């Protein structure tokens, strides 16, 4: 019997993950779309929008039981995972020693630990032609003062994705890291509630990031930096010493009293 062809998207309740989830059925031949985030109501709303069966999995991926529930479901259903998108993630922009312990642990738990374990849970169900898309950030390319831990988690995502992509080449499975610049989503409500970071030279639309992601999924790249400003920033982080890059970033911010 032919296996059910599915895509799994974490962080599908809003922002970049939601745009990618909504765009997948038109681009891939899927029997089901599995969507993960904590907000079950927003995940269920996707059902009204899309023409394929949507399985809403309201999981908090920082909880051990959520990863086990995903593993159990995969074991029961034995699907073929054509696409896995890891878009669940968050940041906190604050001086490092002022970040609450729950967030200091939470960023690592969601951005690194959960992403790693979801990849591991999914891989036995991937086959030749499957693709894993991990949403990293341009912050992965440089240290970011006042976003220090967040940037470090994204450097982890980028390095993990590129190396695993090489490992999986013989199986015909790809891993693509997407490195967006500032993007207009709910991310900032959680990351920058205290307006610690004040200078945003450019804000991309999540639909633009999703479209660039879809294009990159068709190519053989292991990472993509969507947009001109993002690409220019990336190039500067390659050319200039990071001490200078950090000094310029700090000079742009209004970090009085910090
Ligand atoms: N916006 C930017 O400027 C920017 C730039 C570069 C990279 N990124 C990255 O892009 C990805 C998507 O972020 P976004 O900008 O689209 O922000 P967003 O709109 O806030 O989306 C974040 C997603 O993560 C989910 N999430 C948060 N905590 C979770 C948890 N404990 N368990 C499961 N899911 C959880 C959220 O859903 P629930 O709240 O319903 O759980 C939501 O669906 C993130 O990895 C972010 O780091 C964003």
Q: Tell me, using a 6 A CB cutoff, whether residue 44 lines ligand 1.
A: no
Torsion on CA atoms 192, 193, 197, 198, rounded to nearest 10: 130
Q: Where are the domains of the chain?
A: 5-252
CA distance 62 to 60: 5
The CA 9 to ligand 1 mean position distance, Å, reads 11
The CA 15 to ligand 1 mean position distance, Å, reads 7
* C-alpha separations of 203 from 122, 151, 186, 232 in Å: 32, 18, 13, 14
* Model confidence, pTM: 0.97
pLDDT grade, residue 198 (50/70/90)?
confident
Q: What is the pLDDT of residue 91?
A: 97
Q: pLDDT digits over 100-134, tens only?
A: 999 999 999 999 999 999 999 999 999 999 999 99
The share of the chain scoring above pLDDT 70, in percent, equals 98
* Substitution site in 88, 153, 160, 161 for ligand 1 pocket (most atoms within 8 Å of beta carbon): 88
pLDDT grade, residue 145 (50/70/90)?
very high
pLDDT grade, residue 258 (50/70/90)?
low
Q: Which of 34-48, 204-218, 243-257 has the lowest mean pLDDT?
A: 243-257
Q: Tell me, using a 6 A CB cutoff, whether residue 38 lines ligand 1.
A: yes
The CA 2 to ligand 1 mean position distance, Å, reads 34
Average pLDDT over residues 142-152: 97
Strand order in the sheet with 80-86: 54-58, 32-37, 5-10, 80-86, 131-135, 174-178, 223-224
Q: What is the pLDDT of residue 195?
A: 87
CATH number for the domain formed by residue range(s) 5-252: 3.40.50.720
pLDDT over 90 at 254, yes or no: no
Q: Tell me, using a 6 A CB cutoff, whether residue 252 lines ligand 1.
A: no
Query: What is the position in ligand 1's atom list of the atom closest to the CA of 60?
Result: 32
CB 58 within 8 A of CB 39: yes
3-state helix, strand, coil in the chain (%, to 5): 50, 15, 35
pLDDT grade, residue 193 (50/70/90)?
confident
pLDDT over 60 at 256, yes or no: no
The CA 3 to ligand 1 mean position distance, Å, reads 30
Query: What is the position in ligand 1's atom list of the atom closest to the CA of 86?
Result: 45
Distance, CA of 205 to chain centre: 15
Q: Tell me, using a 6 A CB cutoff, whether residue 213 lines ligand 1.
A: no
Q: Tell me, using a 6 A CB cutoff, whether residue 88 lines ligand 1.
A: yes
Q: pLDDT digits over 230-245, tens only?
A: 999 999 999 999 999 9
Q: pLDDT digits over 35-52, tens only?
A: 999 999 999 999 999 999
pLDDT grade, residue 255 (50/70/90)?
low
pLDDT over 60 at 144, yes or no: yes
pLDDT over 80 at 257, yes or no: no
Which residue, judged by its Cα, is nearest atom 31 of ligand 1? 60
């Amino acid at each position: 019997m032919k296996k059910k062809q599915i895509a799994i998207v974490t962080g599908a309740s809003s922002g970049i993950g939601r745009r990618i989830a909504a765009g997948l059925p038109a681009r891939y031949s899927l029997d089901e779309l599995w969507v993960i985030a904590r907000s079950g109501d927003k995940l269920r709303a996707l059902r009204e929008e899309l023409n394929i069966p949507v399985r809403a999995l309201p999981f908090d991926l920082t909880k051990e039981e959520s990863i086990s529930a995903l593993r159990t479901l995969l074991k029961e259903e034995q699907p073929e995972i054509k696409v896995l998108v890891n878009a669940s993630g968050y940041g906190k922009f604050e001086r490092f020693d002022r970040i609450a312990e729950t967030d200091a642990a939470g960023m690592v738990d969601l951005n690194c630990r959960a992403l790693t374990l979801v990849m591991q849970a999914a891989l036995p169900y991937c086959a030749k032609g499957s693709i894993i898309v991990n949403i990293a950030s341009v912050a992965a390319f440089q240290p970011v003062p006042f976003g220090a831990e967040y940037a470090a988690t994204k450097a982890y995502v980028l390095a993990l994705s590129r190396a695993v992509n090489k490992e999986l080449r013989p199986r015909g499975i790809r891993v693509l890291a997407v490195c967006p610049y500032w993007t207009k989503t709910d991310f900032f409500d959680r990351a920058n509630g205290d307006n610690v970071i004040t200078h945003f030279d450019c804000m991309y639309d999540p639909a633009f990031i999703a479209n660039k992601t879809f294009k990159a999924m068709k190519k053989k790249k292991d990472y993509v930096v969507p947009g001109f400003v993002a690409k220019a920033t990336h190039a500067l982080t390659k050319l200039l010493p990071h001490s200078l890059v950090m000094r310029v970033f700090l000079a742009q911010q209004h970090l009085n009293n910090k």
